[in-house]
Structure 1
Amino acid sequence: MALYAELHRHLGGSVVPRVLWRYFQRHSTNLGQKFPEYQEFEEFYTKPRNTLDEYLELHTLVESVQSVETLPYFIYRLMRGAYIFENLAYLELRYTPYLRTPDHLSQSERIDQMAEIVAVVGKASRVPEYPIVTSQILCMHSRLPYEVNKAIVNLAVQSRDYVCAIDVAGGDTHYKERLDEFIALYDYARSLNLNTTGHLYETTDGCYPELLPYLMRIGHGIQIPLSHPELLSELARRNQCLEVCPTTYLKTGTLEDLRQLKIVFDRCFDAGVDIAICTDNAGLHNVRLPFEYENLLTQDIIDFQQLKACQNAAFRHAFAWPYGSQPPASLLHGLLQPEAPALAESVSN
């Protein structure tokens, strides 16, 4: 029975190493020739990087092969793994649609093609044999022009059947010079009743309190409890949820030890701030959501009661979960309850 909700997973980083390697081999790409043996490719693809910017460069490797034609191939395998190996009942996939369009086209042509990308991702995500509730988060990007980012917001509004929110990504260091732009875009999105999240307070370079009032959830946000705990009461008042992705911080060099997250969880629980535990880039990390849970438990960063609270918070803050705040376990309990009297009667007879 699928039980979990994943609120922060990038389409580019979701492709597990073996699937990506097989694709490169079958299509005789440069990377396929560079890494004829799988083990070498896995080591290259999943090894830790020194900085967030260096880590994000790996996204371009996958974006270059995710097109209108190939997205169904990758998404089918993503959905299959999410259902069979991760027990996901709900999944929000985030990505920048502009970066899945051919780069030889003009900017206006690429903007026009984004709607087709969203439709392809939406249809490919609905796989009957792997019944997961899915939705998309469209990412504005710190290195894209204002016109493209505004077009992404407008596309999200026009594609509510497939899209539940917007985000900003591309490395939080790069927001600083364009902060007014992103504030205006988020304000515009909220005026159109669009849900919002954003990569913020992930690193010490990404602390922009001016953006916080426009976000319903915060992508990562770990620097708030670590370095700016005075903000936690305001987050609790706004009912903002942190999307914490444990393995990411080791892969990007943001943290040296996973146990540093104990402060994050303890301070958030004390302040009444919800946390949803996520994977971010499950393929890049070669770590699935249940293993994120297990790592936090075995290293005594959280206990089972706190894990349950985080799992419930993920459904409560999910933008497109159709059953309100009810997680699948409570729905299953409700389905089983009516059978109890009938079972008792059959036993007594």
Structure 2
Amino acid sequence: MALYAELHRHLGGSVVPRVLWRYLHRSESDLSARFPDYSEFEDFYTRPRDTLDEYLELHTLVESVQTAETLPYFIYRLMRGAYIFENLAYLELRYTPFLRTDAQLSQSQRIDQMAEIVQIVGEASRVKEYPIVSSQILCMHSRLPYEVNRAIVALAAQSDYVCAIDVAGGDAHYAERLDEFVELYVYARSLNLKTTGHVYETTEGCYPELLPYLMRIGHGIQIPLLQPHLLKEVARRGQCLEVCPTTYLKTGTMKDIRQLKQVFDRCFDAGVDIAICTDNAGLHNVRLPFEYESLLTHDIIGFEELQACQDAAFRHAFAWNYAQRPASMLTSLLKTEVGAI
């Protein structure tokens, strides 16, 4: 039964380790020789890293194999797992389309090819046997030139497969180009694009200058931890934090998941919504229901707070066009059937 909404999942980090390992061996990739045994690959792929930058290097491994030809293979398995094992009714996939284009082409040719990538991802995500409402978030990237990032924003505004834009690539790297990213977000809003952004994930990624342009905040955990005075303004804007619990342990941002209790407590007290997400379910070998269970068993939130976060995920979903979440629809349907007896 599909019940949940996932607002923050990266295409590059969504491939579960066994699917990726099998693909590498079937395609006779150079990496298959490095990891002949699956258990060794799983350990390498999912173990915690010391920093966010080290963690993000794993994305380059997956990006190199997610090409126009192979994306349908990976996305079909992603959607199958999301429906069967995670009970997802709604999924937003985010990625940088430029990084899936042919690296042998010129920059302008790769920019042109981005539209093809977006179409491939969009069509592959619509799987009849696994009916999930899905959409794409296109990510600008801290290590891509301005021209490419601007083209990503323009493409997002032109595609029916896309619901929003984001900026990614490690929030510590925005500082020297902050004015540039502010300009790009202003441009995005002028095109009526919805917006989120990876900010306040780490202690080096605190940029209050970007907050006014975001409709949701990717991670945002350092706001309640380091700058709680901003929560009142976040609540006034109706912004939602996309909190991804396992990520902070995998990137060295937190040493103990219990540190998130202050994040949730302060946000609830300030009236700031939180959507619980996975971020990189494949890299973590973790699915969304586990994130819920982990927060509950560590006494970070209770069942009422979990329900509030699940409701917030649908309320802040960029492409969920219904007034209710699926559980409410089913409840209404059951009441109607009982009344008819």
TM-score over 0.5 (shorter chain): yes
Partner of 1:100: 100
Offset from partner CA, 1:63-108 (integer Å, 9 cap, x none): 0000110000000000000000000000000000000001110000
Partners of 1:204 and 1:82 in 2: how far apart? 31
Partner of 1:262: 261
Partner of 2:167: 168
Matches within 5 A, 1:322-337: 322-324=321-323, 326-337=324-335
Partner of 2:235: 236
Aligned-residue sequence identity (percent) comes to 81
Matches within 5 A, 1:141-160: 141-159=141-159
Query: What 5-or-longer segments of structure 1 have no aligned partner?
Result: 344-349
Q: What SS does the corresponding residue of 1:321 show, helix, strand or coil?
A: coil
Partners of 1:302 and 1:337 in 2: how far apart? 30
Runs in 1 of length 4+ with deviation above 6 angstroms?
none
Partner of 2:250: 251
- Residue 322 of structure 1 and its aligned partner are, at CA, apart by 1.6
Partner of 2:87: 87
Partners of 1:208 and 1:172 in 2: how far apart? 9
Q: In the alignment, does 2:290 pair up with 1:291?
A: yes
- Residue 338 of structure 1 and its aligned partner are, at CA, apart by 2.2
Partners of 2:126 and 2:198 in 1: how far apart? 27
Partner of 1:122: 122
Offset from partner CA, 1:254-305 (integer Å, 9 cap, x none): 0000000000000000000000000000000000000000000000000000
Matches within 5 A, 1:17-56: 17-56=17-56
Partner of 1:340: 338
- Residue 30 of structure 1 and its aligned partner are, at CA, apart by 1.2
Partners of 1:342 and 1:214 in 2: how far apart? 49
- Residue 120 of structure 1 and its aligned partner are, at CA, apart by 0.3
Number of aligned residue pairs: give it: 341
- Alignment RMSD: 0.5
Matches within 5 A, 1:191-206: 191-206=190-205
Partner of 1:6: 6
Query: What 5-or-longer segments of structure 2 have no aligned partner?
Result: none
Partner of 2:189: 190
The TM-score, its normalising length taken from structure 1, stands at 0.97
- Residue 332 of structure 1 and its aligned partner are, at CA, apart by 1.0
Partner of 1:215: 214
Partner of 2:305: 306
- Residue 192 of structure 1 and its aligned partner are, at CA, apart by 1.1
The TM-score, its normalising length taken from structure 2, stands at 0.99
Q: What SS does the corresponding residue of 2:229 show, helix, strand or coil?
A: helix
